[in-house]
Amino acid sequence: MRSNMSDFPADRLISLNRQAIEVIQLGIELDPGLGENPIDALREINSRLEIFSGRDTLPETLLREVELPEGYRPFAEALLATRNPAAVFEAMAIRPRANASATLPIRTIAIEPALMLVLGFVVVMILCSWSAPA
C-alpha cells in the first residue's frame, strides 16, 4: 500500500486535471485533446475517476478501466508517467503557438533569406571590383 494519497494514479490524475482546468481558466491555450470545451470534459473525466480514488492500481490498469476520450489518452499517459507535469502542460501549450508560426505568409518568411542573398551579392561585387586587376 502506498503512503501518500497523491501516489494513487486516479487521485494524481484528478489533481492534475484540476490543474489543467486552472491553466485553461487563466487563458492559456492548452490542448488536452478534448475538443471545444475541455473544462467540462476534464470535469466529466474527473467524475469517472472518482470511482478509482484511493485505490492502489497501476496507471495502465486505470487507463484501461476508465472510459477516456481517445484524444485525451496520450495526455493522461504522459501526466501519469512523469513526476514533472509542468513539462507536459508546457508541451501542450506550446503546440498552438508552433502551429501559428507555421502559417506565416511565404512573403514574411522569405524576407530574411532574400536580404541575406542581396547583401551577399553586394559584398561579392565589392570584393571582385576591389581585387580585379586594373
Cell 503512503 belongs to residue: 3
Enclosing domain of residue 10: 5-103
Query: pLDDT by residue for the chain (134 residues), tens digit each?
Result: 344 446 788 898 898 889 888 888 888 777 777 778 888 888 998 998 888 888 888 888 888 888 888 888 888 888 888 888 887 777 777 555 555 556 667 767 778 888 999 999 999 999 998 887 76
Domain count, the chain: 2
Tell me, yes or no, whether 77 and 134 share the same domain: no
Indicate the DSSP class of residue 28. Answer: -
> Residue 35's pLDDT is what?
77
Q: How far apart are CA 39 and CA 44, in angstroms?
A: 9
Tell me, yes or no, whether 134 and 124 share the same domain: yes
> Residue 95's pLDDT is what?
54
> Residue 102's pLDDT is what?
60
Tell me, yes or no, whether 30 and 58 share the same domain: yes
Tell me, yes or no, whether 9 and 34 share the same domain: yes
Tell me, yes or no, whether 31 and 91 share the same domain: yes
Tell me, yes or no, whether 18 and 81 share the same domain: yes
Q: How far apart are CA 61 and CA 52, in angstroms?
A: 11
Cell digits of residue 119 = 547583401
Tell me, yes or no, whether 124 and 84 share the same domain: no
> Residue 93's pLDDT is what?
73
DSSP 48-106: HHGGGTT----HHHHHHHS---TTTHHHHHHHHH-S-HHHHHHHHHHHHHHHHHHTS-H
Q: What are phi and psi of 65, to 5 degrees?
A: -80, -30
pTM of the full predicted structure? 0.61
Tell me, yes or no, whether 18 and 53 share the same domain: yes
> Residue 6's pLDDT is what?
63
